[in-house]
Structures are given as C-alpha cells and as structure tokens.
Copies of this chain bind each other. A is one copy, B any other.
C-alpha cells in the first residue's frame, strides 16, 4: 500500500494513464490559487448555447492533463495562521445533455474540443473506423465517438479493454455527423480507459427483462429505460417543489417514526430497539426480548418507551402546520405493511400531501388539478427525449395521454351521480354497483376511459361509511366532502378531502367509530383553538411516475423497491 501501489489504476490493468494523471492532479502548484481543474482547451462559447451565462468545466482529467509536474505543497513548514489553502471553485460539468440537448442538437458546438466522460454502451469496430457509444446518464442520447486507429489510446480498443460497461474519458473535436441518428459526433483525439468492465457484466446489448433487472437494481440505471425513469422521476419531484413553492406553500417534513396512536388505518411496521441491531439480529433468541412479569413485551425498555411505528401518512401532522402557516405540503416516505404482491403496491413509497387552510373541497380539487397539469406539462417540456423513448418502447400514446391531461378540463361529479352513471352503463361489471359501495378499479376505469373519453374525472361527496373519520360531513348527513381523482390507465391517482373542522362533529365521529378521543388530543386541539375550514390531498409519487412514464410495474418506478420478501440493496 505504498506510494507506488497508489498509482495502480481503478482496475488491475497493465497501463495506467488515467490514474497517474489523476494522482498528479491532487495538489496545486500554486497554493494561493489552488483551482485544480482549469477548463480544458479554451473554446469560444457557441452563440446558441444556454451556457454563455454559466461557467463550465470538464472535471478531473482535463486539468490533470495540464498539471504534469504538480507536487504537494509543504504546509508543514509554514507558521500557524499561514496554513491552509483556499478551496477550489465549483464549476458545472459539461455533459452530453448540455451538448446535444439544445435546439440544434449540438450543431452550435461543432468545432469545439470537448471531453466526454461516461460508460461505453456499445463498440462497433469497422474496417477503417471504430464507433464508441458513450453515455454519461445526463440524457438518453449517447455521444457517438468516432475513432481512427491513430487516435491516442486506440490500443486499448484493439486489446479489448474498452468494452461494453467500461468507463472512459474521451477527448476530441465535435463534428457534424454523417449518420442519420444524430446531428453531431465526437472525432476522437484521445481515449483513456478509466475502469474496465469485467466480461461478466450482466447488462450486455441483448435485451434483458425488467424482472431480471430488478435483481440488478444497482446496475439497472445504466440501461435506457431506468436512466429515463430516473430522469423523469427527478423532473416530477422538482416540478412538485416548484409548483408548491411558487404558490406559497411551505414544505414540512412530517415524522417517519410515530408512537402516536391516531394513525389508525392500515398495517404498520413496528420500529424497535428491543431486538439487537444489525448483524446480531439474525441469531437473536426470542427470550432475550425484555418482558414484564406477565410475559408481555416490556415497551418501557424500548427506545421510545412505547410501541412505535412507521408512518402511513403525514396528513394529520401537516394539518397542524396548515393551521399555522396556511398552505403547506409534505413530500416524504410513507409505509404500508400490507402483504400485497401486485404491480401497484410498495411497502415503502413517497407521498406528496398538500394541506390548505381557509379552503374547501372546491379549492382542493382546483389545487390537485393545477398541480397535476403543472407537473405533467413540466415533464413534457423538459424530458422530451425520454418521453419519446417511453412513447416508442414502453407505452405507445403516452405523450398524447399526458397532453390530454395537461390541456383538457377536468370533470367533477358526485359519487351519487357516478353511481347513476354506472347503473345506466351498457356494461356488465364484475362487482355490482349500488349506492354505498366502494368504487372498484373497473368502475373507475369505465368512468374516466369510456364515459368521459380519457378525461380525468374527480368523484366527490362519497358516503361517509366508506371514508376516513376526519372527512367533513356534508349537509345531507350521509356523504362527506371527499374527492378521488381518476385518470386513464392508472385509475385513482389522487385522494383528498375537506377536513372536519367542527369540534363537535369530529368528536361525534370518533365516538361512532369507537376511536379513543384521548389519543387524538392534539388533533382535536386544532379544532379547539382557531379552527378553520381546511382541505388537502395525497398523491403516491410512484403512481405518478407510473402515470407519466407508462411503466407497468410500480417496482420499476422507484430506485430500490421494497415489497414482501424483498428489501435488498
């Protein structure tokens, strides 16, 4: 492990241009100006580029190329107070998306010397020329790198070290491409293998099933599909924050662990330290768990002094902040310990739960509609290439479907009218329709896909018996101010309600349902001190990702899915 060994490259190869360069780059020649990575070959900034207002750079190696004789500054000889260097400047990397993502697909960069760093997707060796497709994850598009045998480092291609899955550093000149698939390509001057790919690399060019890729969740983002899902998921998340922030909502982190008794609904995961942590857990005897004289679990010895669980919703907590800050939203993980092995259920999923004070169900529906239209429009505008990929390979028509959502008026109708509509339908349903029944997926899809022809539909004013205790009772005494938003293909995407803000109504409802009022003391306090009409909704973020991308299985809509029997990685 001495200095010589440190020059060994990332993988045990015979040559080491990359790591040598990198190591030499660690210390600045000039301690008063320790910016280690000056931009590579100066280039004039293309006129159509969005980069003229930003500083760009290609990290690590670009500088190393210029820093051959750098050596470590000897701080130790300095006096105290003179020690220390300035921290270098952070500069945004130029990635493939920046080069090829502009309106002219990279033509404005033609003639520039560029460095591309990424992973080899394919390598095609032809008689006179070699094509290397390099992807850096910034876009679906690869950079096509075209190499003659005189390019520096070409021997690594010949020896087979540069292969699918390997990471490379490529420097060249951007030129207009002869091919029909891209406007520009990189004419390679120099290629450096950064890390080779073992021949066992499981994601070779042949198509692999999404089921197989779930067992390789650590490598699947290197595929077209999962790279695109990750980028669209990111865009949906950022658009979510933008929408709420632009509308004056405050992001609240609702708690994940809760010992509060009032979450109620749904199977919950228990969180405990009574079982030894980590590696010892597997061989833990049951009788090592602290117990009382009566043989019950002794919760007083647990971390929180009582049973604690993973949250199923942040809504009740969000209400406390909405009744202080007016408009808030949560965006965090929630959990269900339901043993559902379906393509629509996860044990761990992210939820968005806005809560609006001084608002009723109409405000709530308007907000949910505006939110959904905003994030869909954001993805259509900002993820064009990825959406075209989904449209071609995952769900034909997904772009039209999203355009409909972004542009069409959403329809609202009452549950009572929806039941009537279903009863009049010329369609035999598996589950019989009757006022008071819960709407099944087949009913929801009939309404949004057939009765309203692909238009999102909000159903409101459900029977109170099939809805949660906190929903506001309507004048009729039979229904509550609840709403579910149905969208084509996915069915229910958003569920919300106006909350019962009247103390006496809420207490009566808790009594009717035999819930323990004491547990809800703080929730009832919100009605005791300056209660206001308020409303909110919840949206499962992975359902939204499914909806926007067309991926069929929700396990492909989150990086590391948790389902019964599966919490790997």
Contacts and interface: CB of A to CB of B under 8 A. Distances in A.
A277 B370 CA distance: 37
A125 interface: no
Interface residues of A, number: 200
Nearest to A75: B417
Contacts of A359: 59-60
A470 to B, nearest CB: 14
A451 B270 CA distance: 48
A452 B84 contact: yes
| Max chain B C-beta neighbours (<10 A), residue from A248, A259, A286 | A286
Contacts of A281: 270, 297, 299, 307, 309
A326 B118 contact: yes
Number of this chain's copies in the assembly equals 2
A65 interface: no
A191 to B, nearest CB: 14
Given A287-B286, A289-B286, A308-B567, A527 B11 contact: yes
A87 B363 contact: no
Which of A1, A198, A247 has the most chain B CB within a 10 Å cutoff?
A1
A112 B558 CA distance: 49
A255 B348 contact: yes
A315 interface: no
A306 interface: yes
Given A76-B417, A285-B297, A167 B531 contact: yes
A379 interface: no
A320 B87 contact: no
Interface string A267-307: 11111111101110111111101010011110100011111
A260 interface: yes
A362 interface: yes
A501 to B, nearest CB: 5
B230 A3 contact: no
B282 A337 contact: no
A263 B286 contact: no
Contact of A414 (B75, B88, B200, B527): B75
A333 interface: yes
Nearest to A363: B59
Interface string A324-363: 1111000011010101000000011010000011111111
A537 interface: no
Contacts of A253: 333, 350, 558-559
A281 B307 CA distance: 6
Given A303-B337, A320-B569, A97 B248 contact: yes
Interface stretch (A147-155, A393-401, A436-444, A473-481): A473-481
Contacts of A117: 326, 357-358, 532
A321 interface: yes
Interface string A166-200: 11010000000000000000000000001111101
Contacts of A308: 567
A119 B420 CA distance: 43
A76 B435 CA distance: 14
A109 interface: no
Interface string A64-84: 000000000001100011011
A269 B273 contact: yes
A218 interface: yes
A103 B407 CA distance: 36
B410 A87 contact: yes
A335 to B, nearest CB: 7
A138 B98 CA distance: 37
18 contacts: A34-B362, A59-B358, A75-B417, A80-B424, A90-B369, A92-B247, A117-B532, A217-B522, A218-B320, A238-B251, A256-B310, A261-B279, A269-B303, A281-B297, A283-B296, A286-B286, A286-B291, A332-B332
